[in-house]
Amino acid sequence: MNRIARFEAPQLSRLRLIDAAALAGISQAALDMSVAYAGTRTQFGRPIGSFQAVKHHCANMVSAARRARDQTVLRRFAIDEGRDDAALQVECALFVAGSAALENAGKNIQIHGGMGFSDEADPHLLLKRAQLLSTIAGGLEAANERIANIKGGLVIMQVAIVTGASSGIGFGCAVKLAEAGHVGPGCGARCGQVGRSRQSHW
């Protein structure tokens, strides 16, 4: 007889947090691989890392990897402390880390150029792993839906587009949460592109 594993909500949150941690690691690995390659690959007599377009890609990858790491690490405390918004925080971590992993893996391939698409180089492995882990976790679209539909007294107060001048990390979506009129610990937590693709839910 086939059996389907069933998990309680706290167990499921921990599993999703593990997936988020793995995806955050992929985003960092893609960044490290890109920086290493950009520093050694030369074109027109200079490393490609000295070109502005490549610098911009690497800078965006740093921002994405940092957001994924910080969001995932901090959400662990939400679970350990048994906070009411732990499920929401974990879903945000999964969405941010998954988005960062896919984004950085794609940029890593682009920085490697045509070689990045071949089996002779490793960038494609990170993209495949990021896609696999995101799918195993249920998909980022599903995580986005869960974030939009999570209840438990949390109310979406504002979805703000934060500019690089105010945040220092480039454009991002800052989702401010409040609990019964009191700004809770989730206020200002960056949920990647949440709200940009699903603004109708907010």
Using a cut of 0.85, tell me whether the model's pTM lies above it.
no
* pLDDT 10s digits, 4-29: 667 777 788 899 999 999 999 999 99
Domain ranges of the chain: 9-149
* pLDDT 10s digits, 22-56: 999 999 999 999 999 999 999 999 999 999 999 99
Q: What pLDDT is recorded for position 163? A: 31
Token look-up 């890609």 returns 57
- What is the Cα–Cα distance from 135 to 142, expressed in whole angstroms? 10
Please tell me which residue, 118 or 187, carries the higher pLDDT value.
118
Beta strand residue intervals within 128-190, DSSP E = 154-162, 172-179, 182-183, 189-190
CATH topology for 9-149 is: Butyryl-CoA Dehydrogenase, subunit A; domain 3 (1.20.140)
Q: What pLDDT is recorded for position 2? A: 62
* pLDDT 10s digits, 85-99: 899 999 999 999 999
- What is the Cα–Cα distance from 173 to 175, expressed in whole angstroms? 6
